[in-house]
Amino acid sequence: MKPVTKNDRLSVYVEDLTHDGAGVAKVDGYPLFIKDALPGETVTVHVLKTLKSYGFAKLISIEEKSADRIDAPCPVFEICGGCQLQHLSYEGQLKYKEKVVRDAMARLGKLPDVPVHPVKGMDNPWRYRNKSQIPFGQEDGRVVAGFYQPRSHRIADTDICLIQTPEADILMASLKRNLQDMGIEPYEEKTHRGMLRHVVLRKGRVTGELMVVLVTKKQKFPQAERAVEAIRAALPDVTSIMQNVNGDKTNVIFGNETINLWGKDIIEDRIGDVRFEISARSFYQVNPEQTEVLYGQALDYAGLTGTETVIDAYCGIGTISLFLAQRAKFVMGVEIVPQAIEDAKRNAYLNGFTNTLFEAGPAEEVIPRWYKDGKQADVLVVDPPRKGCDEALLQTMLEQQPERIVYVSCNPATLARDLRILEDGGYRTQEVQPVDMFPQTTHVECVAWLTRS
């Protein structure tokens, strides 16, 4: 028997916070997940749904507040799916993220004793995103733009977003105001009607360069010239305006075709001493200030003296590779997206690196071939997507036994799983350093350092 039923109203004590930021209260051992409730709080909740071993409840009122609770500064925090933790002080967020990483290590990695350092946070944890992807839509004949609501494709309409650049606010508000006058219909996902799907803004943190990408349903875009004028009026410093065409019924943002409407095809940025040219669709870390911290940590753990050969798996446009190439004898990067490899090669050339090699393909296929061809590595760096490393790649690591492995991860759960496999194969996890790349959200990035035992 479940101790609560749907529509019950009761008072509960919140004891924990899940990895996706919901409060957890237990009623006779039965966990209830409560959005926006914080550990240490006594709250009244309304039970929304009960499943066999857990349920969901809505926060109605707070009787006893957590000392870490603050007023979320964003006006749409309650309905927007972008941030989950604005109601928690920044110090509280960092402590929470450290605990998420520790729990993953202990529970999923069976590594309760691995040293997990306090999370490296930001001095100012706002306005940090250098890339904004703003969905446009319509509601009751009105243009709306902002970010999606949690687990939905309804847009939480807003004119400001406190984790994005001020330029994103200016652009969003200005386009929203002028779209109808320009005769541009925002896209409607339900009916696949309309033209403008997303507006993507990218800013070079160091260079200040700005790229705007208008993602349209069709290539034929007669209002392009007026749109360019409006964007240049709103953002006089803009350096690149592109159109990307996505005619598919999909929630993927970009389509295959990208057209220059005005200015340069790329924007440039710098991380540390390395310059990067970034094209409209390439992956580039969204928090450049913390990226420097993250890559600095990876470089530190790589322990380079200038004589090492390094493999950078999942290398994207070669950001980590080039950071490492400053101190290594030779760096080999592999990445599955050919366009990103083109960017990586161009960026190596642009910075005058002659000690790098990049190849497009799946890391789990390319790296074994490198080894077969006699290309040995002293250090292996991996930075896989959320699902973690491919099993075949982990096997290759265990067979080849590089001296050090540096594992950069955006998902503590898959990191812990993969560390367990590497530990069983003879590696020791020396330490884990979490870095806060995404303040106000539940995401946490980690760098783990492993040595052969």
Look-up: residue for tokens 């904004």?
Answer: 132
Nearer to ligand SAH, 194 or 368 (CB): 368
Nearer to ligand SAH, 209 or 383 (CB): 383
Q: CA 291, 155, 34: angle at the middle one, nearest 5?
A: 75
Crossing angle of helices 224-234 and 166-182, in 10° steps, is 140
Verify binding: residue 336, ligand SAH, rule CB under 6 A: yes
The active-site residue, picked from 80, 83, 315, 410, is 410
Residues recorded for the chain:
453
Q: Give how far Cα 121 sits from Cα of 97, 385, 407, 410, Å.
A: 10, 22, 19, 15
Scored b (16 or more CB within 10 A) or e, 23-53 reads bbbebeebbbbbbbbbbbbbbebebbebeee
Residue 410 known to be catalytic: yes
Verify binding: residue 344, ligand SAH, rule CB under 6 A: no
Verify binding: residue 315, ligand SAH, rule CB under 6 A: yes
> Least Å distance between CB 286 and ligand SAH?
10
> Least Å distance between CB 426 and ligand SAH?
24
Q: Give how far Cα 108 sits from Cα of 24, 111, 403, 414, Å.
A: 19, 8, 25, 8
CA neighbours closer than 13 Å in the CB half-sphere of residue 302: 32
Nearer to ligand SAH, 221 or 330 (CB): 330
> Least Å distance between CB 340 and ligand SAH?
6
Residue list 362-391, contact with ligand SAH (CB under 6 A): 362-364, 383, 385, 390
> Least Å distance between CB 269 and ligand SAH?
12
Candidate residues 200, 320, 348, 422; the one interacting with ligand SAH per rule CB under 6 A: 320
Nearer to ligand SAH, 66 or 285 (CB): 285
Type of residue at 244: N
Nearer to ligand SAH, 167 or 364 (CB): 364
Q: Residue 336 and residue 356: Cα distance in Å, rounded?
A: 17
Verify binding: residue 335, ligand SAH, rule CB under 6 A: yes
Q: CA 309, 368, 408: angle at the middle one, nearest 5?
A: 60
> Least Å distance between CB 314 and ligand SAH?
3
The footprint of ligand SAH (CB under 6 A) covers 283, 285, 314-316, 319-320, 334-337, 340, 362-364, 383, 385, 390
> Which residues participate in catalysis according to the annotation?
410
